[in-house]
Amino acid sequence: MIMDIVEIQKILPHRYPFLFVDAIVEMERLKSIVGLKNVTVNEAYFQGHFPGAPVMPGVLIIESMAQTGGLLLLQEVPDREKKLLYFAAVDGARFRRPVVPGDQLRVEMKVISWRGDFCKLEGRATVNGQLAAEATLMCKMVDRVPAAQAEKSAK
């Protein structure tokens, strides 16, 4: 394991219940990363998606891909605590099999291009070697606005 949850939380701003990567097992700087998400029945979204037949929502699989890719990108940003990555687009998203409690989602992300504050990544999520989802993600790096400043500008 290259990064455990403690190391991940030093880089990503996400926290429970919206942190969807548990470990990083492979990484090649500026090129690719492989993360793991352990899917457990006590995840809050399973209460309503779907009672008696729990399935991880596809948008959360995409979010797991984004967070894994974000870990790779944020490694290269010296002032990352002052930055956020926002989705700009999701293209070609396909869901091939349900992800259910007990599964371990393996998320593989590859950098396609990175220019300035814009990045394009290609992702695949598998369970036991079977393709669960795939998508191309685009994100934009923005300055993080402190909460007090955000409240002030909203008024």
Q: What positions carry a catalytic annotation? A: 49
Q: What is the dihedral sign for C-alpha 142, 25, 99, 109?
A: positive
My answer on whether omega of the bond before 78 falls inside 30° of 0, hence cis, is no
Length of the chain: 155
- Closest-CA residue to 8 (of 83, 72, 84): 72
- Closest-CA residue to 120 (of 139, 101, 103): 139
